[in-house]
Each structure stands twice: as C-alpha cells, then as structure tokens.
Amino acid sequence: MRLGFVGLGVQGLPLALNLLGAGHELHGFDVAEAPLAVLRDAGGTVAASVADVARASDIVFVCVATETQVDTVIAGPDGLFAHGRAGIVVVNHSTVSAKTISSLISAAQAAGARLVDAPVSGGARGAEQRTMSYMVGGDDDVLELCDPLFRTSGEVILKTGHAGTATLGKLAHQVTIIGNILAMAEGMRLGVAAGLAPDMVKKIITGGLARSFIAETWGDIKMAPHAIPIFAKDLENSLRLASDLGIELPGANLMQQQLSVIVP
C-alpha cells in the first residue's frame, strides 16, 4: 500500500519503521531532521510537507503531540484532508479531547475523507518490541483495511465502535495508568522511607495483588520529562469530559496536582 506517516517522534518513528519493514511504500514527514534521516536510511521516502504526504498516500497515520498539531496536520488548510485524494484514509494515533475528535469527524465528512480514531498504548518500547495495544473506532470496512497495518506493531486490536469511541476509551485508560503511576510512586516512597531497599519494595508489590505493568517496569523505563506534558494534556481532557458528563474524578484531580513528582 501507499502509506504516509506524519509525526516521527519517540513513538511514531518505530511505528512507521514497522510499516516500512512489512514491505509497504511509506512517505514520512516530521519537523525534526533526525528521524527523517533514520526513515530515509531504512528505505522510506522523506516528504517535504504534510501536503506532499497526503498527495502520495492512500492511508496516512498521524502521531503528533498536541491538539493544535493534530488539527493543523489533519484538517488545516495545508493538511491531509485539504490535499489528499477523495476517500483518503487518515488514522489518528494521537490522544485528543472528545471535542477535537468530534470536530475531526465532521471535517472528514465534509472533505470526503475517512477518519479512523486509533489511539495507541505502549509507548516507544511497545512500538519497538511490536507489543502495542490499539483502540480503534471507525467504519467496519476501513478498520478491516487497516487491521493488518496495525498488526505490524501489535496484536491487541480492540474495536470500540464508531469513530470517536476509541478516544473516549483512551481517556479512561490514561486516567487509570496515571493512577497506577501515582500508586507505585507513593508505595515506593513509603517503603523506602521505612528502610526497605527499592528492589525489595518492587518485589513485594509485583508479587502481590498490587502488581501491574507500571510496577513491573518501575526503574527500568524513564518517561519524564517528555511524558509529563502528554499526561497533563490527557488528564485535562479527561477532567473536561468528566465535567461535561456531570461526574467527578477526585483521583484524577490529585494526579494532575502531583504529576511532576510521580512520573519516573
């Protein structure tokens, strides 16, 4: 397939390389030069702009950091909808707000494009090891088309329903994972302050009902500082959604306050 990838960051680059390694033609774009050089060396085509990616591709994957970047790349005047062929498929891997995904769905319909709502979980490590988990929302025929492409980076593909539902699920996921980080940070803080070695605290937690992926990888992976603004954005969007729904998330409010001191 003729594929495109916009956003070759710590997670996007290995996802793109997995697609390229599966034998697909791939056109990539990023504002940084270093990942473009890696893509070029791997046999990919470096595009001069987002518009060039759109014109060269049947399916384009987007993995950028902020709401503004997502909107600009996908629905802006120099973006994918504006310059792609009729029926172009745009797969959004970026975690955005419920409002933003709703706006993108409307923009896709107006442009005659197909939007796949596909936030991912696993980070750079999951992409590199091909153990990513996908939450995907969209029309069945487009999801079927994209399924083998998703599987180049992971086997867990959870279909959540129509476009927009995957983003809602990802926000719930982010509240839960950041809650796990808070719990592990405080458990570790308590155990160490009481005189236990950090390795022993980790063994105790991973050996009991408190075990989790966060606990098992604590000390092995370093997420800060690049993860903090992403988590902050996701918590803000989750709390905004909760407010719109008329529910309270007091734990998420605490996570937001403690974020800078709990993310490893």
Strand partners, 28: 5, 46
Question: Catalytic: which of 170, 202, 222, 233?
Answer: 170
Is 202 among the residues known to form the active site?
no
Closest-CA residue to 119 (of 70, 188, 84, 86): 70
Q: Is 262 exposed, middle or buried (0-12, 13-18, 19+ CB in 10 A)?
A: buried
Rounded distance between C-alpha atoms, residue 174 and residue 180, angstroms: 10
Helix H or strand E encompassing 157: strand 156-161
Tokens of 111: 């442009």
SS3 209: coil
Beta bridge pairs of residue 89: 59, 114
Q: Measured in whole angstroms, how far is the alpha carbon of residue 105 from the centre of its chain?
A: 18
Distances (CA, A) of 76 to 113, 150, 153: 14, 25, 28
Distance CA 123, CA 98 (A): 21
Active-site positions read 170
